[in-house]
Structure formats: C-alpha cells, structure tokens
Amino acid sequence: MTTATVTGKPDEPVVATRNYLTEEGVTLRSWLLTKDHKRIAILYTLSITFFFFVGGAAATLIRLNLVTPAGIFTPDIYNRLFTLHGIVMVWFFLIPSIPNTMGNFLIPLMIGAKDLAFPRLNLLSWYLYVGAGFLALFAILIGGVDTGWTFYTPFSSLYSNGYVVLALAAVFAIGFSSILTGLNFIVTTHRMRAPGMTWYRLPVFVWSNYATSVIMVLATPVLAITLMLVAVERLLRVGIFDPALGGDPLLFQHLFWFYSHPAVYIMILPGFGVISEIVPCFARKPLFGYKFVVWSSITIAIIGFFVWAHHMFVAGISLYAGLVFSLLSYVIAVPSAIKVFNWTATLHKGWISFDAPMLYALGFIGLFTIGGLTGLFVANLAFDVHVTDTYFVVAHFHYIMVGGMVSAYFGGLHYWWPKVTGRLYPEWWARIAALLIFFGFNLTFFPQFILGYLGMERRYYSYPPEFQAWNIFSSAGASVLAVGYALPFFYLGWSLFRGKRAGSNPWAATGLEWQTSSPPPAHNFDKTPTVTRPPYQYRPEPEPQDV
Amino acid sequence: MQLLPPTASAHAADMDWLFAALIGTSAFILLLVFGLMIGFCVRYRKGSKVERGNRLGRTWRVETAWTVATFIGFLGLYFWGADLYVGIHSPPKDATDIYVVGKQWMWKIEHPGGQREIDTLHVPVGKPVRLVLTSQDVIHDFAIPAFRVRQDAVPGRYEALWFTPTKVGEYRLFCAEFCGTWHARMGGSVVVMEPSDFQRWLDSQDPGPSLAQEGEALFRSYGCSGCHGTASTVHAPKLEGLFGRPVPLQDGRTVIADDRYIRDSILKPKSEIAAGYPPVMPSFAGQIGEDDLLKLVAYIKSLADKTAENSQTGQSAGQSQAGSSAGSAERPAQ
Ligand code: HEM
Ligand SMILES: [Cu+2]
C-alpha cells in the first residue's frame, strides 16, 4: 500500500520518509500556516496538553488546600483556583480534546478523504482556540475570576470581584472555534467519503464525532448569547438576570444549561467513539450491535437537549418541570447503558489482548459505568435534593468526564500514537501508567461520593472537621493520579526519538487509517481507497501485518 | 470515620431507603457488567484454548431485551424518587412558617413571633416547619444534610422548604450555592428542641413586635393603607381575608393569593391585575427591602381569617389576630 519508503534497521518495519511531518517543510512558519488537518491536529494536541497541565496544576492545589479542614489558601485564592480549574478543564480541555486532536487527524483518514472540507477554517479555529486560551490566562494573571465555571447570575453579573468579562470573552471566542470545527466535520462527513463508504460503513468514531458536531453547532450559539447577556448586564447594568434591576436569575440557568447539558455529551460522545474503535481491535471481533451503538449516539445527541433542567431541581423550578426533566434524564440513561452492554458483549468469544490502549478502554468502561449509574442517583428527584451542590455531584461528573473521557483520550492517544508519529512507545510503561491512573482515580473520587452524602458542599475552601478523613484519602489519590498523568508525557516524549518504528498497522486493525503509511503522507492516500466491507471485520487471530 | 449523616427528620429516613434501593440496583448492574467483563477477559484472553465458534450473529433481540429491561428498572426508581419529591413539596397545613433571608454571608432568620436569629435555627421536635426562603443579593442555598433537604434562596423570589424534625440535637446547616468569598463559612446549625424547651427559648428571646405587627406599621408608613385601608376612598381590593383565597384576574385567569402573589403584587402590580380594579397601584420595586417585604407579607397573611366588615371594628382587633395566627409563638399584643 505504501510507496516511497526506505528501510529502517533490518529488524524494523520500513518507514515512509515522505510524510506530513516533513513534506511541507519543517519551519515554524510551515506549521503556523499549514492547512493540513494532521498538522493542525498536532498543533491542537500541543496546546491542549498545555491547558491540561494548567488545569491539572490547579486541581493539585485544590486537593492540597482540602487536606486540612481550615484550608491553606485564603478563600479568594481558593475560589479563583476552582474557577480556573473548571473553566480550563471544561472549555480548553474536555470539549475540544478528542474532536480537535483525534477527530481532526482521523476523520479524513477514516473516510478516505484527502483533508477536511474547509482547511482554512480549520486553521482559523485553532487560532481562535489559542487566542481564547491566552485571553483566559491573561484574566487569571491579572487577578483571576471567582464565579465558578458556571457563571451563575446575579453573582457573576454584578457581585463577583474577578475579571469576569475577560473570562466571558475567552469562552465566547472558544465557542466560535467549536462551531467552526463542528461545521467542518459535518460537511466533511457528508461530502468527502470515499467510494463505497456508506453511512453504515462509517467507523463509530466518525459517527460519534458527527453527533458531537451537530450538538456543537446547535447548542454553542445559545451559550454565546447567554454569556454576552451576562457581560451586558455587568458592564451596562441593564436588568436581565438580576431581580434588583428587574431581571430573572433563573433565566440564566435555563439558558446556560440548555447549552451545558448537551455540552456534557460533547465531552463524552467522542470518547464513546474511541472506545468503540479500541475494543473490537483488541478483542479481534466486530463491534457487537454496530447499528445500536450508532443510533444510541444519535439518540443521546437529541435527548441531550431536553434534560437541562435536571441541574435545577432545587433552584425553584415548578414541581411539574422537576417531574418531567427527571423522567427525561432517566430516558437518556438508557442509550448510555446500551453502549456499556455492547462493549462488554464485544468481548464475548473474542481473542483479547491487553495492550495499553485496551487497558485504558477497559478502565473507561468500568469508570463510565460507575459515573453513569450515579447519574441515575442525581437524576432522581428526591435524592438530588439531598446531594446536589455537594461532593456527590463532583464525584459523579468526574467519574464520567475524568474517569471516562480522559481515559478515552489517553486510550486513543496510545492507540493512534504509532499512526501519528510512526513510533511505538515502551509498552510496559504505558501499562503501568494505565493502572496507576485507574487506581489513583478511584482513590481520589470514590471518597467524594461518601463526602457528598455526608453533606460536604462543593466549592468550600474550608469544611467541618468530621469530613477530614475522606478528604485525606481523596488528596492522597490525587497525588497517585498526578503521577499517572505525568508518566505518558515522559515515555511518549522519549518514544518520539527512540521508539521502535511502528509500521503502517502495528495493531493489525481494519480501519482505513491503517491502510496508509505511518506517519501518513500529506495527502493521506496515494490512491483514493474504495471501501467494500463494513467496519470491524476482525478475525480471531491477527492477520499478518500489512506493510 | 463517618459513613452516613445523622438522620433527624421523617423524610431523612425515607430518603435513606431510596438511597439503599439506588445502591442495590447499581450494585446489581455493576456486578453484572464487571463480572461479565472480567469473566470474558479471562476466558477469552489471547491464547486461551476455549471454544469460540458459533458467535452470536443477529443482535437485535438481545439489544431490545436489555434496552427494555433497563428502562423498566429505571422507571421504578424514578417513581420512587418522584413520590418523595412531591412529598417534600407539599407542606402540611399546620406547618409553622419561619422566614429566612440569605445575604452575603449569613442567614437571617425570623420567627413568626418576631424572634430573630442569625445562622442558627431553633425548631421544636415533631412539629412541621416551613421555611420561606429568599435572598437579598445573590443565589444562596439552604441545606440541612441531617434532614436531607435543601432549597435555593433566590433573590426576587420566595421558595419554600419544609421538614418535621424527629430527633432532638444540633445539626449542621450549610450554604450550598456558591455565593462569593465566604461561601464556605456561610453556615451554622439547626437546633432541634423539646417543644417545652423551645417555648422557653422563644420566651427568653427579646422579640420586640411580631412580624405581622411590624408589617402593619410598614403598611401605613409605605402608604399602602392610603388605598387598601378601610377608610380609603380609592377603589382598591381590601386585603382582609385575601390570603389563601383564589383571586380572579382581569385576563380571565384565577390565581391563589399566596406569598408569591402578594410579593409580586407589591413589586410588579401590573403583572396580575385583580379583576374589577383599575391598574393604578404603583410598583414598590427597589423601595422595599427583603426584610420589610417579609413583614408586609406576614401582615397580610395575618388578615387571612378576617373579613372586610370585621376589620371595621378597628386596629386593635387586627393586632390580636396577627398575634394568634403566629401559632405557637402566641403572645398578647403589647
Ligand atoms: C454521559 C456523560 C455525562 C457527563 C459528561 C455528565 C456531566 C455532568 C456534569 C459536568 C455535571 C455537573 C454540573 C454542575 O456543575 O452542577 C453533571 C450533573 C448532573 N448529571 Fe451528569 N453527566 C453525564 C451523564 C449523566 C447521566 C447519564 C445522567 C442521568 C441519568 C446525568 C445526570 C446528571 C444530573 C441529574 C446532574 C445534576 C446534578 C446536580 O447538579 O444535582 N448525567 N453531570
Ligand atoms: Cu451563600
């Protein structure tokens, strides 16, 4: 399949010298002005990694502060820290992570296209991301923001003493980045599929990014308008959300969650996509119930728009609204459960190997199941009244977003690393990191369920002494977790220079992206591939490697 | 190391059962999923020599089965939680109303008899209590884990929360909605007392006039009595006997005159115009603070069991009425 190759050392697979990393030149300028989706994906990966570490540093300080009941920092510093953590993690890591890095890199490869539909728009969206990121960092440097990532009014619009308008502007700008990426993916998926790549032959990864893009395009404008209204109220003192000026504080929450609940699916659906690629590959079996997995993504994307008020059960919505939104939240839990069952069933009668990506994927299934099940707890009206705004909710969404989504991100990173870089990483270290992350994660977040039920409220820099024991466990877990997250940084970095050559298809996987060389050439495929089979046609024993 | 919070209200015990059911259901699903996952991983690991023929081809039966099963299981939990939720939104008629105003960063509490406290709430054991919550600045949230209840205190609105304490003791009270610098310190305790001790506590406080009595004074000083008073010539609705009754509106709807209606009528008089009256009342938005609003509402509430004729007999009758509607906090008018 690959052309223009030279040999590596005799025992190593051959590597393409003509690849996207070298073809357009290696100058900074050639990178900053690139229109190649793969290079833009690399730019995103670098910047998103940076923000992941910024958000992670804030998390470490938060856990450090909570080791003692009295707290270590002043309340204002603590409030700025969790706001920083939330804003960075939600908008600069979770939402863009998988779509903008792996989606950008893989969607064209997976559907047999040369690039995304709008390469320039793609580059623009990266610049928006970076610009917004620096704006947010600037707001933090000159003083910070203390509203929490949810910007609840009228606190944010009139009472906060932080740089709220700057932070709002940053989130506003990154919203445009999301919209542009979403549009690009939608058009690409519709228009650029290779001959024979019918909708039901699309890998689930493409489907889930497609569903995500639809949410991005439809929901993000609502967020943008909402944030703009907060800025208007703050700057001009026009009454929109503050009742003292004739506004309605709950209006903000309705608008905000109308975006932000679907947004939690923006965060998790691409993760579903990654897991649906990894599990069949390492179980050597077709994905169980492919169509059900696809349609459950679409269903989640749609119902995701109708459950926003489950964040407001104690905010003063009517009794009937509570009853309806709770029921809908239970409905949306069903398609999520379907996926878990399907991945598990895929293992049945497989030929399972436990390489690092698979360890991350199995970790994902376990943690997502716990996160999803506790979603049933918080979607339950009477139960939510007791635990909302406590650490129970914090644990719930961290199980989904950190245990689930970040595991999927790391799993995907390891799975496609050989494709992106042409190198393999040291497998042993990768497995150690996966296990550390799994144990560290549970030690960090499981105690928080208990803390929440006991009544420890979120966003407290200081708490009653009887909560201390569980907080110490949680902080201890966080340090294990931090080591787990830092490890890949080192061994992946090492592999860039010293890693073994990967060859085009080290996992003997079936997707189109594995049929071109690693790293792929700038135009992806020498000849546009023709697709004749559905995805995931794995056989029990790996096929001989395709070189 | 604590595992469960104290259980000090009737609702708390019900909630713990729901919690147990949720845990039971999840434990079942979790064991199923983890058991299968680990079982498959061991049995079908690469290189193990087990039979792998005869794989399941058509999946829709399996898919339909587990989709339906999951949904039905979930529905059961939904109804259970919904039932309890309806319960905590339906206070009994004889509940004592206590007013709570959140403010950066304290809880101001006013008993019907006029006793005030800050960050501590005294209540008698075994008697239903209904808290009427509002906020003077940002959104706060009044949370009592031992009772398993919480409710946001939203500026510009009244929200209610009720419970019946079942155990004497002191329990923690928190603000749960982020409200600025000292959010973490905006809490205190709920003190549940024997009714006799509670009565003694009430008597030992130096309450000054009751809420309703203060409200009555405000009613005159803000000029409300100019139109609504018995001697007034303006065609305005009389407020005696109003509270809790249905009010026909000009646009054909009918609303119940509850706390919210009274409050809105003061601040947004044009939004719900009572049928048959000209919309001449000015808005008092921005002129009357939360504290005073509460007192006015308490006063109008105290007129609930009076009729307009009755009130002709004069102010003093109104005052003793106000005192008696305050229930256990009854004291002779000064
Ligand atoms: C699928 C991925 C999911 C993600 C990424 C996610 C994420 C989140 C986040 C970020 C919050 C916190 C909001 C806050 O700051 O207050 C939250 C709360 C909540 N989640 Fe999820 N969630 C997911 C799944 C579910 C599921 C499946 C359910 C229901 C069955 C659910 C029900 C809830 C409810 C009811 C709340 C509100 C809790 C409260 O504020 O009391 N979530 N979730
Ligand atoms: Cu507060």
Pairwise CA distance, residues B99 & B116, whole Å = 10
Q: Tell me how far CA of residue B190 lies from CA of A231, B117, B172, in angstroms.
A: 38, 11, 6
pLDDT tens-digit readout, A225-262 = 999 999 999 998 888 888 877 788 899 999 999 988 98
Confidence of residue A67 (pLDDT cuts 50, 70, 90): very high
Pairwise CA distance, residues A348 & A312, whole Å = 41
Say what the pLDDT of residue A23 is.
83
Q: Which residue of A lies nearest to B66 if distances are taken between CA atoms?
A: A338
How far is residue A515 CA from its own chain's centroid? 26
pLDDT tens-digit readout, B136-190 = 889 999 999 999 999 999 998 889 999 999 999 999 999 999 999 999 999 999 9
Averaged pLDDT score across all residues of chain B? 83
Pairwise CA distance, residues B270 & A46, whole Å = 57
- Locate A25 and state its tokens: 């030149």
Contact map slice: B 157-216 vs A, CB within 8 A: 157, 159, 172, 174-185
Q: Which residues of B touch A463 (CB under 8 A)?
A: 184
- Locate A336 and state its tokens: 């999520």
Contact by Cβ (8 Å): B99, B132: yes
Residue with tokens 């993000």: A220
Confidence of residue A3 (pLDDT cuts 50, 70, 90): very low
pLDDT tens-digit readout, A280-299 = 999 998 998 899 899 999 99
Say what the pLDDT of residue A542 is.
58
B9, B17, B33: which to substitute to probe chain A, counting the most A Cβ within 10 Å?
B33
Residue % of chain A over a pLDDT of 90? 72
Pairwise CA distance, residues A288 & A334, whole Å = 17
Say what the pLDDT of residue B56 is.
63
* pLDDT of A135 strictly over 60: yes
Orientation of helix B211-221 relative to helix B315-324, angle to 10°: 140
Confidence of residue A15 (pLDDT cuts 50, 70, 90): low
Atom 41, ligand 1: residue with shortest CA distance: A388
Mean pLDDT across the stretch A71-92?
Answer: 93
* A189 Cα to chain B: minimum distance (Å): 27
Q: Which residues of B touch A462 (CB under 8 A)?
A: 184-185
pLDDT tens-digit readout, A366-384 = 999 999 999 999 999 999 9
* pLDDT of B320 strictly over 80: no
Pairwise CA distance, residues A63 & A56, whole Å = 11
Say what the pLDDT of residue A14 is.
57
Contact by Cβ (8 Å): A56, A93: no
Say what the pLDDT of residue B322 is.
35
Averaged pLDDT score across all residues of chain A? 90
Say what the pLDDT of residue B55 is.
66
Backbone angles phi, psi at B193, to 5 degrees: -125, 160
Angle value at C-alpha B235, between B232 and B236, nearest 5 degrees: 85
- Locate A198 and state its tokens: 């019918």
> Out of B45, B56, B70, whose CB is closest to A334?
B70
Indicate the range of A348-352, A447-451, B11-15, B319-323 predicted with least confidence. B319-323
Is residue A249 classed as helix, strand or coil in its secondary structure?
A: helix
Across the interface, whether the CB atoms of B30 and A369 are under 8 A apart is answered yes
Mean pLDDT across the stretch B193-221?
Answer: 84
How far is residue A381 CA from its own chain's centroid? 28
Across the interface, whether the CB atoms of A316 and B174 are under 8 A apart is answered no
A322 Cα to the center of ligand 2, angstroms: 23
